Structure 1
């Protein structure tokens, strides 16, 4: 399939931090995707929390399955818009490589640990950590640190960045991936697409996992107009449909509606702003978007999930325990109560080395290491949720 004139073309990309000879059978973005899939950090995602810990059920999403769902959605939309599918897939697969164990609970606690040590410091951002993983922490090549990904993939991985961190990146790499956060320009359409596909994916699969866990009732979802619309349509077309088949049919329709909405709204935005080339994309407002009506409905769904799932007492109990594990691990390594592995300790300054080590842990390794160091089993009375 031919690329649109405003799609990212590997032949005109900005290259890598370290020059490499071209691969004989793959372009730069295909090569990036393959390096990500073979990385250690990518494999670790299978045991990192999305919402529910891995031991709470075999069928709940993990960071790995979430990343695969984001990649599928993003690639489908990219094809319809004639964007670069390989770049889109590479960004989607790598966007959570820097996430801590225990999902956002681990991220928030690790950020808090760093803030307590250095209140004026930069704290912890998982997007910045994802960039650090691919630029520095992966050790697979003799000639350079990291995976040496192309600029466009690295730019897409850095979804958010504080101004302070962007300024630090700019000092290290003038005109590099941090620059757009300082000058207000936009990333590629492929990067914009992955950001929105991430939101579409987690809204849908968190509904699925919430119902599977028993924390959200199927009929309770009728409080959300976007879900109720597609549930009613499924029942009209398939009278008597119920249970998980009704849920799956509802979510299938919901996903399709959001995907087609993004395609239509983005095409309209491209025409409205007269986008003809990549440089036009960078100087325009965000172009990959929902229609206003779908954006409003999506926000209602997000608020519902926040209130009914992410703040559910059972989830908050897990969150509290997870934060305790991360905090006590961090403190044990910083104070010397536990020793870092030599490879981790030699990789950076002490606080940075501890942060990298704890952030890279899987849920189950963090729980095991915490038990070894403290002699306590924080999750021993936390039973499995239903539906596993």
Structure 2
């Protein structure tokens, strides 16, 4: 859908690409960005990266229906297109930022990120948003004329500002990109990028409720005590009395999903009507984001997140798994750092030729962060189960 609002990002106003390219005759710049992301190696690896449950834990949690980074990303992109279309924004750019937003996540979800951040503390730290930028600007190496995907400025800006303006000190990976091309990190992101960020919240708040129920970490009765969710179950029971458990669950949670999406759209429409921005730059120059939840719903979502944190993200079984996979990364990273020969040849050569420990650590980080859950587990078994070459 073409953007219709004056405050949307329009292709003819794009800041372009760092490496100039001829315009496509049938795709907009952001359609090309989207396609490059979908065809990237990093995007494919999201299939086997954790959202909450480690992939092989399907046996523990009775099934393999849980979200992965890939399915989460697809859901975020769908929500982003819906919201962007309703607001007259550029749906292609919103989708592009949504598809790229999790490319920098390491194996084992936020547990993996916490572990790598600690391991990288002496070498500049680790941040998955910054790592996503490093992937799309350097680590994807398929094109003849440039490293990375040579995405447009607007796509890079959206990835960098996923959580809003970025104050100093910058993560080194983000600093490198920003030095090459100023992403105006002090300002808001475009409305399309803000939509992608809110869509991320909508998607994971919705599907984590589904996954937590399927994993039997809590019950429908417990969820019914929460704001938004309780009224959703009550409405389903009123319209469909006696509905079987799985359909009742789905019907209630799809209403929760709808409440979040409709709230974001209504709040944005009201604020846009009042502020009357006339360009994408007007959105960037505003005092705070234009795309957000209403204050009442935001408070309700905080209550839901608090419940999920206690009952799901810090459930004893999940905490046990966090400890196990953290130990794996604490084994793998130092080994590769001190013995790069244990990495594949392409990574080994780069690490061995690194000018100092910091650069070598960043090569090792790029390798480990790019692993899928299953590959990290298999490498750990190979290297620490008596089968080391």
One fold, TM greater than 0.5? yes
1:173 shift after superposition = 3.9
User: CA–CA distance in 2 between the matches of 1:252 and 1:136?
Assistant: 39
The 3 A distance-change label for structure 1 pair 230 and 162 is same
Equivalent residue, structure 2, for 1:382: none
User: Please, what TM-score do these two structures have when normalized by structure 1?
Assistant: 0.91
Q: Is 1:324 the equivalent of 2:330?
A: no
User: CA–CA distance in 1 between the matches of 2:17 and 2:151?
Assistant: 6
Contact 2:115–2:330 (CA under 8 A) maintained in structure 1: yes
Contact 1:66–1:201 (CA under 8 A) maintained in structure 2: yes
Equivalent residue, structure 1, for 2:22: 21
Most deviating of 121-130 and 97-106 = 121-130
1:222 shift after superposition = 1.6
The equivalent position to 1:179 in structure 2, one of 175, 180, 184, is 184
Contact 1:109–1:326 (CA under 8 A) maintained in structure 2: yes
Q: Is 1:163 the equivalent of 2:168?
A: yes
SS of match in other structure, 2:170: helix
User: CA–CA distance in 2 between the matches of 1:303 and 1:226?
Assistant: 14
The 3 A distance-change label for structure 1 pair 171 and 95 is closer
The 3 A distance-change label for structure 1 pair 177 and 245 is farther
Pairing of 1:1-388 with structure 2 (within 5 A): 1-57=2-58, 58-115=64-121, 118=122, 121-158=123-160, 159-160=162-163, 161=166, 163-165=168-170, 169=174, 173-174=178-179, 176=181, 178-180=183-185, 183=186, 185-284=187-286, 285-336=288-339, 339-347=342-350, 349-375=359-385
1:270 shift after superposition = 1.2
Contact 2:133–2:177 (CA under 8 A) maintained in structure 1: no
SS of match in other structure, 1:316: helix
Contact 1:169–1:177 (CA under 8 A) maintained in structure 2: no
1:174 shift after superposition = 4.8
1:224 shift after superposition = 1.1
1:239 shift after superposition = 0.5
Contact 1:75–1:89 (CA under 8 A) maintained in structure 2: yes
Could you list the runs of 5+ residues in structure 2 that have no partner in the other structure?
Answer: 59-63
User: CA–CA distance in 1 between the matches of 2:145 and 2:98?
Assistant: 26
Once the two structures are superposed, what CA deviation does each residue of 1:281-334 show, in whole Å capped at 9, x if it has no partner? 011021001111111111111111001100100010111111111111101101
Contact 2:77–2:99 (CA under 8 A) maintained in structure 1: yes
1:337 shift after superposition = 7.2
Contact 2:226–2:303 (CA under 8 A) maintained in structure 1: yes
Once the two structures are superposed, what CA deviation does each residue of 1:232-259 show, in whole Å capped at 9, x if it has no partner? 1111110112411111101111111111
Equivalent residue, structure 1, for 2:61: none
Contact 1:370–1:376 (CA under 8 A) maintained in structure 2: no
User: CA–CA distance in 2 between the matches of 1:143 and 1:337?
Assistant: 29
User: CA–CA distance in 1 between the matches of 2:376 and 2:347?
Assistant: 15
The two structures, once aligned, show a CA RMSD in angstroms of 1.8
Contact 2:16–2:153 (CA under 8 A) maintained in structure 1: yes
User: CA–CA distance in 2 between the matches of 1:211 and 1:376?
Assistant: 39
Q: What is the aligned length? A: 370
Once the two structures are superposed, what CA deviation does each residue of 1:1-59 show, in whole Å capped at 9, x if it has no partner? 55211001111100111111111211100000000000000000000000011122221
User: CA–CA distance in 1 between the matches of 2:73 and 2:257?
Assistant: 16
Contact 1:170–1:178 (CA under 8 A) maintained in structure 2: no
The 3 A distance-change label for structure 1 pair 18 and 5 is same
User: CA–CA distance in 1 between the matches of 2:315 and 2:171?
Assistant: 35
1:272 shift after superposition = 2.5
1:132 shift after superposition = 0.4
SS of match in other structure, 2:142: coil
User: Please, what TM-score do these two structures have when normalized by structure 2?
Assistant: 0.91
User: CA–CA distance in 1 between the matches of 2:176 and 2:224?
Assistant: 51
Contact 2:131–2:173 (CA under 8 A) maintained in structure 1: no
